[in-house]
Structure 1
């Protein structure tokens, strides 16, 4: 998989339009947690969501893929490919914390 670049990013609003500012996720143990949608964008034709827990905004964020189910509804899927996850995570960091010398 190739690395993503800032020029490839297309900001989207599809999750917010479908669910509002927050989504409820369920973990493997059946525990439900609320996450705020920090960002959503497409890169190379794939949609990604960056989610943060409201009470832990300074901590790690979740990186998930946005997929359309056969019935057209949106779903969030775990990114199983470590390289893809790392590429999206690094891209989000670049989008959020641009380096000073780039300007």
Structure 2
């Protein structure tokens, strides 16, 4: 990897869905179906892949409860919460952009 910090960031959260998933988890712990409903355009397969990658990179925590049927919840990790200021800045920029486009 090059020494570019933006590249380093995008290697972890780049793509269409990861930041959206993280943003949905800012409000608290969610189950898989809750996440999927809140991001209607994402497929189950893509959501599963993105969640696995975010978990592997330490940004989210996957908690499995031994129940029947199994209950699985996703939440931001402490490390994932360090990305919150970046997402807030993105949200603020997005509002300005939406106003400009209107």
Question: Is the TM-score greater than 0.5?
Answer: no
Greater helix percent: which structure?
Answer: 2
Q: TM-score, normalised by structure 2?
A: 0.30
Name which structure has the greater RCO, CA cutoff 8 Å, separation 6+: 2
What is the TM-score normalised by the length of structure 1?
0.30
Larger-Rg structure: 2
Higher strand fraction: Structure 1 or Structure 2? 1
